[in-house]
Chains A and B, each alone.
Chain A
Amino acid sequence: MKYLDEYRDGTVASKLVEEIRRVQTKPWVIMEVCGGQTHSIVKNGIDYLLPEGVELVHGPGCPVCVTPLEMIDKAHAIARRPEVIFCSFGDMLRVPGSNGDLFSVKSQGGDVRVIYSPLDCLKIARANPDKQVVFFAIGFETTAPANAMLAWRAKNDGVKNVSLLVSHVLVPPSIAAILQSPQNRVQGFLGPGHVCAVMGYREYEPLSARFKVPIVITGFEPIDILHGVLMTILQLEEGRAEVENEYSRILDRAGNRPAQQLVANVFEIGDRKWRGVGTIPKSGYKLRWEFRDHDAEKLFNVKEIDTREPEICISGQILRGLKKPHDCPAFGRECDPQHPLGATMVSAEGACAAYYAYGRHLQAEKEREQLVSIGGGA
């Protein structure tokens, strides 16, 4: 496919790896922000191609992963109601709450539907005027224009039986939270290409200047990621800290203005809790007051549900780039994609799920066995 296949070319990839080897003189820790990038890195073994001393750590950029457990529980409570048709992107269906997932809600009689586009909810609502259609509106800035359009059309077209359960998160505050942590190890970022297709990258410039870190807005194909790593290492080696754009075929500095405008009309910025991380100030979107008749949290008055994460899970440290999945004693044992314990295993794009999907739990198990046998022989 055009604009995909040419960015998967092995010859170009090996040239880029060669160039990275040539320019890198010191060890560097680089974080890829987006879960889609993590998935591409693990799937293509990009971290194994890089020279020793270039470490990729995986960031918080998977909205399915960071949706807090109490929000999942709220979604399930709403989805169980007989008058509700609950619509969601497919990624959210397997995410466990305190008491099962959306599949189990469906198996118990809940009307749960997977949709391709948020606009599908309008069609479902028009066809079912006696039902309440609730959409689980999650995502980063990439998804905000699509979700905003649903709220906008529902209000302006008078489709009263559509509402949104909003759990939207924003990338720049999460980068700031990582850099402010005293334990931070990250020296440069591969910025989120599709988030910036919508938002542009102006808001990353003050972050780069304040924390003196390179941020290279990067795409998702193997060539994009290697090119982004090369651009980041060049900045680090030369002592520069700027925002650069690797993904110029898709985005520019300004981003998509019509999308930004509609998002600003529908949403306002508020504090958000991130699963595995905690509350980050001004890190999410909520519906503006004018859209209160389409705000599922207000309409269904689901009270605050107190939930607790398993203590063994280290997903919070993985999301901040402090640990890797195989550092966790539960990885591939008590915790796998069928029985996830925490944020980074619940979605296919989570770092733990990506490591598991490409067999790295087998390697972790082998290393554990070797350690045990060494320990036993001593």
Chain B
Amino acid sequence: MCLAIPGKVVETFNANSMLMARVQFGGVVRDACLEYVPETCVGDYVLVHVGFAISRVNEEEAQRTYAALAELDQLTELNTPEAEDVAGGVSLGSGL
């Protein structure tokens, strides 16, 4: 029920004195109301729920999270020697 999907704003317009947008989700384009994210520009990604954009995707935060996950990858790599020791020198990681 709380399903919401990020999509790219391809056009903004006014309808019945409301700020609206055409939003592209993969191959599908649908209308969404922009009244709750009025600062949105064409090219931005918005999160759409039942025909309303409720949030603008923060690209900086998305990149930061991704960088953190990449760091996690390195942390795990650092920890793999213990697993290798247990396995008698046979690598269990994806290093090969």
Contacts and interface: CB of A to CB of B under 8 A. Distances in A.
Contacts of A198: 54
Interface in A313-333: none
A69 interface: no
A16 B72 CA distance: 8
Interface stretch (A58-66, A105-113, A284-292, A352-360): A58-66
Interface string A189-221: 000101101100000000000000000000010
A347 interface: yes
B73 interface: yes
B42 to A, nearest CB: 15
A187 interface: no
Interface in A28-81: 34-36, 61-64
Contacts of A252: 58
Contacts of B65: 227, 248-249
A197 B1 contact: no
Nearest to B51: A117
Given A3-B57, A146-B51, A195 B2 contact: yes
Interface in A332-377: 347, 349
B50 A117 contact: yes
Interface string A115-156: 011111010000000000000001110110110010001000
Contacts of A119: 18, 33, 51
B5 interface: yes
Contact of A250 (B3, B26, B47): B47
B90 interface: no
B72 A197 contact: no
Given A35-B1, A259-B54, A249 B61 contact: yes
A333 B78 CA distance: 49
A213 to B, nearest CB: 21
Interface string B13-37: 0001010000001100010010111
A64 B8 CA distance: 29
A371 B74 CA distance: 46
B61 to A, nearest CB: 4
Given A12-B69, A146-B50, A140 B1 contact: yes
Given A3-B45, A117-B50, A248-B58, A143 B33 contact: no
Nearest to B24: A1
A18 interface: yes
B2 A35 contact: yes
Contacts of B86: none
A42 to B, nearest CB: 15
A122 B33 CA distance: 14
A149 B2 contact: no
A22 interface: yes
Interface string B50-64: 111011011101101
B1 A1 contact: no
A60 to B, nearest CB: 12
B6 interface: yes
Given A19-B76, A194-B47, 5 more contacts: A1-B26, A34-B2, A117-B50, A145-B52, A256-B37
6 contacts: A1-B6, A89-B50, A146-B33, A146-B52, A249-B62, A262-B36
Top 9 nearest A-B pairs (CB, nearest first) are A117-B51, A249-B62, A3-B6, A248-B61, A142-B2, A259-B36, A194-B2, A197-B55, A146-B52
